[in-house]
Structure 1
Amino acid sequence: MAERERSLRTEGVVLRHSDWGEADRLVILFTREQGKLRAVVKGARKLHSRKAGHMEPFTRVSLMLARGRDFWIVTQAETVDAYLPLREDLVRTASAAYVVELLDRFTYEEGQNLGLYQLLVESLHRLSSVDAPQTVLRFYDLRLLDLLGFRPELYECVRCRQPIQDEDQFFSPQQGGALCPRCGRLEPGLWPLSRRALKMLRFYQRSTYAQVRSAAFSAASHAEMEGVMQAYFTYLLERTLNTPGFLRTVRRGA
């Protein structure tokens, strides 16, 4: 086996971890060089482990990995950015957990994806700043869908293919886009989509983060857009995400 295959220097973000064996920890990482991968941190659960503090969720780390029998082994770890504000505010913690869960559910160990890695790092940085978490998350939703090939159709009816007019519409998670009122009345189980929420979805889909950050949308439009996105994610993943409910509970408490 070649030397380059036996070791790997990489940068990544810790998505989650779990106990492994008597004293080790299995971590799920999304890395810049290899995409998603699993690695074991030997002795991470011991009291004086030097690596454990670098391998907490939402932490961006520089790593040296060695190939083990089943998983990579973390031989060196150094924190690049701990995103400390995420750990000091429960709403931001829950928002970061949402970002990480969504990426984790949609990805497999299938190699490098620089676009997804950059989106992940930028989103955690934005959540650590003064930016409104709702704005960060909705921008993340639309960009993630673009990068994964699930961009929702918002400009023409996905059933009759006529241009969408400036009026209330419907959204079909199954068909991946908006339906005009005429077609929407013919199909059960669709999500109502107000003209305000449709404008917001379109704006987020076509704009840069700097543009959406400076825009003003009502709390009702944000909530409606969030509901549409969660319905779409539930259909694509064939399961409900865990973090949106937790995030709503935290927001009410805050």
Structure 2
Amino acid sequence: MLHKCEGIVIRTNAYGENNKIVTIYSKELGKVGVMARGANKPSSRFTAVSQLFSHATFVFQRSTGLGSLQQGEIMDSMRSIREDIFLTAYASFIVELMDRTTDEGKRNPALYELLYQVLHYINDGFDAEILTFIFEMKMCDVIGITPELNRCASCGATEGSFAFSIKEGGFLCNRCFHKDPYLIKVSPATLRLLRTFYYYDLNRIGNLSLKEETRKELRFIIDEYYEAYSGIMLKSKRFLKQIGSLKVNLPEKKGKPD
């Protein structure tokens, strides 16, 4: 049976000398795997559409199991991402998280739209780290580890001062601080941003700019929360941490490009 879909390449694996197994997260079919025969040959018609992050339309034949790619038409090669080591690192983490947390063949148009928007905004020059924070917060629902961000995770209070508790799985009010000796006390602005990113409407994206201290607090909470609850260890996350020290020594990019 012949299938056609619009999708983004989230993983590639070499198969033999010249072939590639390409994993696509698609709008119409969810996650699908296809064999791109000869894709590693320089003259192959599948070279562009089989690259990681490529946004394209794909036509493939499949009855059961792995499909066989028949045609592909590139829509956006995400060139800016691939030409920048830092953007590549963030995008690699995003697609690996998507790959590890989704099952093949389960259609989810909203999830496809999230992936599409985040990668395109990164490619267009918006702040890649902030977009990654947004993506991670929104993926909590997909993984089934949504933190409590609207009230105290212990008593339900909505007023008072708050901190973040990994143990309790979300915000903890000052009356319940004693319940977690490892409570993470950060600025109120950081806590507001955690909630904002979870609910963020990417269709209304504007100027994205954060102080380095706020970035550190967000990074720490999200990393610790994922480590405690997701059970997912990603190679791309380790790479992201390794290049983090390089990134902070470079001039900060604010908002979208001039």
Q: Does TM, normalized by the shorter one, top 0.5? A: yes
Deviation at 1:175, TM superposition (A): 4.3
- Cα distance in structure 1, aligned partners of 2:246 and 2:184: 27
Match of 1:233 among 211, 226, 230: 226
CA shift in 2, pair 1:51/1:199, >3 Å? same
Q: What per-residue deviation string (whole Å, max 9, x for no partner) do you get for residues 25-64 of structure 1?
A: 1111101111011111112233432212320100011111
Match of 1:155 among 141, 150, 153: 150
CA contact (8 A) 1:106 1:237 kept: no
CA contact (8 A) 1:44 1:51 kept: yes
CA shift in 2, pair 1:108/1:153, >3 Å? same
Match of 1:80 among 53, 75, 89: 75
> What is the RMSD computed on CA atoms of the aligned residues?
2.4
- Cα distance in structure 2, aligned partners of 1:50 and 1:210: 34
Letter paired with 1:59: S
- Cα distance in structure 2, aligned partners of 1:212 and 1:184: 35
After the TM superposition, which residues 76-225 of structure 1 pair with which residues of structure 2 at under 5 Å, given as runs? Answer: 76-146=71-141, 150-165=145-160, 167-172=161-166, 175-209=168-202, 213-214=206-207, 216-225=209-218
Report runs of 4+ in structure 1 exceeding 6 Å deviation: none
- Cα distance in structure 1, aligned partners of 2:67 and 2:46: 15
- Cα distance in structure 1, aligned partners of 2:74 and 2:208: 34
- Cα distance in structure 1, aligned partners of 2:114 and 2:145: 16
Report what 1:66 is aligned to: 61
- Cα distance in structure 2, aligned partners of 1:147 and 1:24: 32
After the TM superposition, which residues 16-95 of structure 1 pair with which residues of structure 2 at under 5 Å, given as runs? Answer: 16-67=11-62, 70-95=65-90
Deviation at 1:248, TM superposition (A): 3.2
- Cα distance in structure 2, aligned partners of 1:164 and 1:97: 39
Instruction: Tell me the TM-score normalised to structure 2 length.
Output: 0.85
1:8 aligns with 2:31: no
Q: How many residues were matched structurally?
A: 247
SS for the counterpart of 2:71 is strand
SS for the counterpart of 1:53 is coil
Deviation at 1:164, TM superposition (A): 4.8
Comparing 143-152 with 63-72, greater Cα deviation is found at 143-152
Q: What per-residue deviation string (whole Å, max 9, x for no partner) do you get for residues 151-210 of structure 1?
A: 321121112222252x351322x5431122443432355544432311221233344347
Report what 1:249 is aligned to: 242
CA shift in 2, pair 1:28/1:202, >3 Å? same
Comparing 182-191 with 12-21, greater Cα deviation is found at 182-191
Letter paired with 2:94: V
Letter paired with 2:230: L
Comparing 103-112 with 148-157, greater Cα deviation is found at 148-157
Letter paired with 2:150: Y
Structure 2 gaps of 5+ residues are 248-258
Report what 2:251 is aligned to: none
Deviation at 1:148, TM superposition (A): 5.4
Comparing 28-37 with 127-136, greater Cα deviation is found at 127-136
CA shift in 2, pair 1:216/1:11, >3 Å? closer
Deviation at 1:146, TM superposition (A): 4.3
Letter paired with 2:215: H
Deviation at 1:118, TM superposition (A): 0.6
Calculate percent identity across the aligned residue pairs.
26
CA contact (8 A) 1:200 1:217 kept: no
CA shift in 2, pair 1:69/1:111, >3 Å? closer
Letter paired with 2:153: V
